[in-house]
Amino acid sequence: MDKAIQIEEKETVGSIAVRSNRARKALEDLGIDYCCGGNISLAEAARKAGIKQYELVDRLAVELAKSEAADAEEREWTVAPPEDLIEYVLSAHHAYMKTVLPRIKSLLERVLRAHGPAHGDVLTPLDRIFRRLSAEITEHLYKEEEILFPLMRREAEAAHSGKARPFCPCGTVANPIRQMQFEHDNAGEALRRMRDITHGYALPPDACPSFKALYDELQAMEKDLHEHIHLENNILFPRAERLEETFSGR
Ligand SMILES: [Fe+2]
Ligand SMILES: [Fe+2]
């Protein structure tokens, strides 16, 4: 993020929304209409939102900078060796999941003990969905680490060195990939249900710091899992399938 982000004074809210999804979401968070009423200046939008113009510009500049950094990183992953992307997924996302799941589990136990009697309608189903999600993710990570990723590595290595396609006990790499995508969909559905049950992680008025920590951790986990699944579904898996196709053309 070393490049200065330019926001012209005359730029409209609508044009900023088109430049970056992150900026669009920031506008949404601030209650600023960027679609139907997007043809207004930033000064006017700031006035309507009840904030200073420089605060709005600063916030949008941060979001635009983050978008550029994320776009650059994503572009790199589409051309970097797939083994590097696997290493990144393992160190950035699998490692995080292995630490956050037990942390959320113990927070949930604590919050259920203290608030179960008053908020069991939310906490009991939340606990049930989380426990199942946690068990499924743990198994999912294991399958990727022990079966799919080693297979992808072997195929990438063979392709680079001009060797024949290595033996694949699952038939083709597409088979375990389909299973992982199915499990990703299930995880996404569990995240949506947890968000629904908690009304968008809205804390009750009597929430204690542990309750707040629980919701913060769940939301951070949701965001991380979305990024993790995006990297696998949209970049890593298609690359592994294309790479495997190169063996049939030899
Ligand atoms: Fe993964
Ligand atoms: Fe996965």
Q: What is the pLDDT of residues 57-95, one digit of tens each?
A: 988 888 888 787 777 777 788 888 889 999 999 998 999
Nearest to 13 by CA among 26, 1, 2, 3: 26
Contacts of 60 (CB under 8 A, 6+ apart): 7, 16, 23, 26, 27, 42
Q: What pLDDT score does 110 carry?
A: 97
Measured CA to CA, the distance from residue 66 to residue 128 in angstroms comes to 35
Q: What pLDDT score does 151 carry?
A: 94
Share of the chain above pLDDT 90, in %: 56
Domain boundaries, the chain: 13-74, 80-248
Measured CA to CA, the distance from residue 194 to residue 187 in angstroms comes to 11
What's the CA-to-centroid distance between 141 and ligand 1, angstroms? 6
What's the CA-to-centroid distance between 78 and ligand 1, angstroms? 17
**Ligand nearest to the CA of residue 89, numbered in listed order:** 1
Q: Is the pLDDT of residue 218 over 70?
A: yes
Contact status, residue 172 vs residue 179, Cβ threshold 8 Å: no
What's the CA-to-centroid distance between 232 and ligand 1, angstroms? 7
